[in-house]
A = this chain, B = another copy of it.
Amino acid sequence: MNPIQWQIQATDGNARAGTITTRRSVIETPVFMPVGTQGTVKGVRFEWLENELDARIILGNTYHLFLRPGPDTIRQMGGLHSFTSWDRSLLTDSGGFQVFSLTDLRKLTEEGVEFRSHLDGSKKFLSPEVSMEIQAALGSEIVMAFDECPPGDAGHERTRASLELTARWAQRSKDRFFDLQAAGMDAGLKDGFRQSLFGIIQGAGHLDLRRESLDRTVQIGFDGYAIGGLSVGEEKSVMYEVLDFITPQMPTGAPRYLMGVGTPEDLIEAVSCGVDMFDCVIPTRNGRTGSAFTSRGKLNIRNAKFIRDDSALDPECDCSVCGRYSLGYLRHLYQAGEMTASMMISHHNLAFFLSTMRKAREAIKASSFQDFRREFLSKLSQNDGKGV
């Protein structure tokens, strides 16, 4: 049985509105997936994600969960769903991206990558096979192939070498993935549906290499396709150029996932190119530093002008934070070092990202996506240069 069913409900230009049906939930796209690095979304309880924000899928992080509490513990606790009690869909990354961020700590070979744990300095090893084994123990609905992610400014030769390695690792990922499924090692098995496996397109800012990476990944064949290696330090124009070039060439019959991106502008631009899925830490990371995303752009809660402001973070937002709490109160909580400030700004930011995707979806279905995009981006720039 197909582990995910991908259906397109509407297209508008390159933009697509669809549904991904997994063994655990129906995901309406375009979709923003909140990041639950260590098995929890920072500062936001699952109850809010389910009941109010209605997130149908969240991420788990293979690198972090590998180190703590470890795949053996999670497997023994029945997989990541059972361990965390999150019973909707999970996507797990491969761990590669985090390891390659530890530049000083790794030794890369054809076989895989050796690194030292950032927690205790102990030696660890990740490879396509190990990543697949961990992700089987996590039991996520969407498993990511183990790839190498070169720096955003890598030259042509370095990038080509990297994508060749990524292609070989993609095949090894797929081989090991299916062995594990056949051996019943998927801890998240439900109703006989296996995990799904997504391949990753690399190639940095080199369009010819992006195309080559796409071809090689599709040739191996996956349940969905991701664009990796963007928003890793390159110019924004490079990212948009790559998205514009590669997304419409990706298979229409599978979901398209832009990894680790990005701002609300980035999301809308990528949807316009035909991307269906996103994840990014910024709603919760910025929430913890008092930075709110709103329909009129970013807002810094520390700004003294908010001291006695009784309006909402975003008067156009219908989340439980904006419906109840004032800027002045949230600023007070932030200045006073109260955890509830981080919790509530993170909550609002996630609400904004999720509802932006829902509005994009409605616009695509109504064939008015380009109008929506223009208005959304224009409104978003209203706070620019106002020192907020």
Using a CB–CB cutoff of 8 Å, the interface residues on chain A facing chain B are: 38-47, 64, 68-69, 73, 76-78, 83-85, 307-308, 310, 320, 324-326, 328-329, 332-333, 335-336, 338-340, 342-344
Known: A339-B339, A343-B343. A329 touches B45 (CB 8 A): no
Known: A77-B308, A343-B45. A338 touches B38 (CB 8 A): yes
Known: A333-B38, A336-B68. A45 touches B342 (CB 8 A): no
Task: Report which of B77, B332, B344 forms a contact with A326, defined as CB distance below 8 A.
Answer: B77
A126–B335 CA distance with the chains assembled, in angstroms? 23
Copies of chain A in the complex? 2
Chain A to chain B contacts (Cβ below 8 Å), 9 pairs: A42-B338, A73-B307, A76-B308, A77-B310, A77-B328, A83-B332, A85-B325, A85-B326, A339-B342
Task: Report which of B45, B324, B338, B344 forms a contact with A340, defined as CB distance below 8 A.
Answer: B45
Known: A68-B335, A307-B73, A332-B38. A45 touches B83 (CB 8 A): no
B68 touches A339 (CB 8 A): no
> How many whole Å from A332's CB to the nearest CB in chain B?
5
> How many whole Å from A383's CB to the nearest CB in chain B?
23
B336 touches A38 (CB 8 A): yes
A340 touches B42 (CB 8 A): yes
> How many whole Å from A31's CB to the nearest CB in chain B?
23
Which residue of chain B lies nearest to A339 when distances are taken between CB atoms in the complex? B43
Which residue of chain B lies nearest to A336 when distances are taken between CB atoms in the complex? B38
> How many whole Å from A59's CB to the nearest CB in chain B?
15
**List of B residues within 8 angstroms of A78 by Cβ:** 310
Which residue of chain B lies nearest to A340 when distances are taken between CB atoms in the complex? B40
**List of B residues within 8 angstroms of A310 by Cβ:** 77-78
**List of B residues within 8 angstroms of A64 by Cβ:** 336
A328 touches B83 (CB 8 A): yes
**List of B residues within 8 angstroms of A324 by Cβ:** 46, 85
B332 touches A39 (CB 8 A): yes
A333 touches B39 (CB 8 A): yes
